[in-house]
Amino acid sequence: MRFSILNRDSSSRARTGILHLPHGDVPTPVFMPVGTNGTVKAIETDDLKEIGFNIILSNTYHLYLRPGEEVIEKAGGLHSFMNWDRNILTDSGGFQIYSLSALRKISDEGAWFQSHVDGSKHFISPEKAVLIQSILGSDIQMQLDYCSAWGASRKECEKALRITTDWLGRAINKWNEVTLDGKYSGSLFSIVQGNFFPDLRQQSAETCINSGTPGIAIGGLSVGEPAELFHETLSYTAAFLPEEKPRYVMGIGTPEYILNAIEHGIDMFDCVILTREARNGRVYTRKGPFALKKAENTFDFTPIDKECGCKICKEYSRAYLRHLFKTGEILYSMLATYHNLYFINELVTNCRNAIAEGRFLEYKKEFLSMYKEGNDD
């Protein structure tokens, strides 16, 4: 993997670049839709391409349980299996293990966990996480990490960081092994942990830098902490990371968080919120998100967003979309998902343009001023 930096904003750490990956170039900053089970819910791969996405995220934990890496291997890899000829980033399953705290046990060797599907017990090590992701054919794969919870004690966070550091070394060794014959060309990213202790964050960042991985992710954020602490920790952590490597913040997807991350030099982000909220009757506009399912939209024959250029806004009214939602029609989820993903991709594209023109902070201020005007939160 190569990363080229194209533009830098003069008044912030924002920058644009290009990720050169096995399945094509990816302009950054970039939002990655989440395709947990090998599909971004309620949207076809052709529509993802039409919107302009060149990379999506899939989940190792879920694909390992269903359909299993053996099925995907026989299909020729995840790209072939899901009919997606562009890039795929896969997480390691570490966050899912974290979220299943009542069903897992972590040791130095790896993590035992109980399947949320059928209750069966499984073990995943940093080596196994690398192997599964290489079978999937991930263009970017993540190391297995130990994410500690918001509010965890320093002792617990120190233990989690020690294990994450050890797992990184083991993951790199396994990655070197699986790429030796040249058949697999995906890259491995390290992950900064350390909870919300600044010195642990710095220690973890330095470990990731010294490991030599071609990209570095900032993990352990957006786990229930206050927004101010999120932004403070993100800013502090990002400042340690090298300029020449792509930086990835895991699990953020709202405009406020994305704009703040870009300001601090973050290049990549993902989240399920845009697609999940679409399916639940909430859509995003330049003047803020709103609940399409509300009765006030019953006789509203205007589009979701009059200034949006997506085909959904050109062809369908709020009244019709609300009708589809209230009657449980599958088409509703497809149309709303398309719109929300178009919205976020357009936002990130506009950010890239603003950075190139040297006016990112001006664009951020203008966008948020309008966005907060109609936000029904």
Instruction: Give yes or no: 91 in active site.
Output: yes
- Count of Cβ atoms closer than 10 Å to residue 229 Cβ: 12
Tokens of 345: 């991709």
How would DSSP label each residue in 183-246?
A: S---EEEEEE--TT-HHHHHHHHHHHHHHT-S-EEE-S-SSS--HHHHHHHHHHHHTTS-TTS-
Tokens of 312: 């959904």
- Count of Cβ atoms closer than 10 Å to residue 148 Cβ: 26
Tokens of 96: 């899912």
Q: How far is CA 10 from CA 238, 317, 358, in A?
A: 17, 41, 6
Instruction: Give yes or no: 305 in active site.
Output: no
The catalytically annotated residue of 9, 91, 267, 305 is 91
Radius of gyration of the chain, Cα coordinates, nearest whole angstrom: 21
Answer whether 287's CB lies under 8 Å from 374's CB.
Answer: yes
The catalytically annotated residue of 139, 145, 267, 270 is 270
Answer whether 220's CB lies under 8 Å from 148's CB.
Answer: yes
List residues with catalytic annotation.
91, 270
